[in-house]
Amino acid sequence: MDSTTIIGLVAAFLTTGAYVPQAVKTWRTRRTGDLSLSMFTMVFLGTVSWLVYGILKDDLPIILANTITLGTSFIILYFKLREVMEQRRAG
């Protein structure tokens, strides 16, 4: 494997893995006040789009990376949406 490919794999590992500690933190604390709803909505919809793109291009690395991010970004977005709805209900 050449060094460019290794750098690409490190990059993919970092930007995919990044959502894991945020999902764990959000799951544990249930606190999402400082998270941007727009950010995590865009990340989730973007990940769905990347997944469709990967399937259409039959590109395994894109499919794998975005399947992981689909799960982690869903967890974060779920808790963010729950907080937003609770705040609306509270007036």
Site residues for its own copies per CB under 8 A: 4, 7-8, 10-15, 17-19, 21-22, 24-26, 29, 31-36, 38-40, 42-43, 45-47, 49-50, 52-53, 56-57
- Among residues 91, 37, 46, which one has the least CA distance to residue 69? 46
Cβ nearer to its own copies, comparing 52 with 85: 52
Token couple for 67: 């399947």
- Say how far apart CA 3 and CA 9 lie, in whole Å: 10
- Say how far apart CA 84 and CA 13 lie, in whole Å: 31
Cβ nearer to its own copies, comparing 35 with 64: 35
Residue 85 CB, nearest approach to its own copies (Å): 17
**Using an 8 Å Cβ cutoff, are 70 and 33 in contact?**
no
Residue 91 CB, nearest approach to its own copies (Å): 21
Cβ nearer to its own copies, comparing 11 with 84: 11
